[in-house]
Amino acid sequence: MKTGLKLLLFAIGGLVVGSAATLAITGAIGKVSAAERVLGAYPVDLINMMYHSHNKSDVLAGQTAPTLKIELVADPMKMRNYSLHLITDHFRFAPEDASGPAVFGEGHAHVYIDDVLLGRAYGPWYHIPQLKPGPHTLYVTLNHNDHNEYSINGATVGAQLAFVVK
């Protein structure tokens, strides 16, 4: 038998064995709906993660404070996915300097869902992957390169939005 044909038969055999094992496991646990499989695939279990925070760095007198507004747009192609639009003034996203020394007026944003750091935004758009159904709170902070939060008189420069995922 030719090597290519042997490899094909081996691959098909592996698929059959793998499928049978999957069916056996699913049968032992119970039937899982397509929706449950999708929800179970969500990459971050927000409940089990710890809150993440950083020190604050006040804008000094004579400096123009950065501003932040946020817009959340549902992804029309993928259920429970969102595009977050970060609208800033007096701020430049500087992914090339992340984790470096603070330079006033530049940095990145930290994106939180339900008080949990989901990730860093290095530009004005950030993809939020499949969220579980229910109420959520989105919170975004502007951060210096060194991750300290921009603040004005001790109040973090950030924006918050409550929303419900159906």
Residue 51 · residue 144 · CB < 8 Å: no
Going edge to edge, which strands form the sheet with 67-74?
A: 67-74, 82-89, 125-128
Average pLDDT along the chain: 79
Residues 135 and 55 in one domain: yes
Residues 109 and 133 in one domain: yes
Q: For residue 66, is pLDDT > 80?
A: yes
Residues 69 and 13 in one domain: no
Number of domains the chain contains = 2
Residues 10 and 69 in one domain: no
Q: What is the pLDDT of residues 101-141, one digit of tens each?
A: 999 999 999 999 998 889 999 999 999 998 999 999 999 99
* Per-residue model confidence (pLDDT) at position 134: 93
Residue 130 · residue 118 · CB < 8 Å: no
* Closest listed residue to residue 144, CA positions, set 60, 55, 74: 55
> To which H or E segment does residue 162 belong?
strand 158-165
Q: What is the pLDDT of residues 136-150, one digit of tens each?
A: 999 999 999 999 999
> To which H or E segment does residue 112 belong?
strand 106-113
Residues 27 and 78 in one domain: no
> At residue 138, what is the residue type?
L
Instruction: Please give the model's pTM, rounded to 2 decimal places.
Output: 0.70
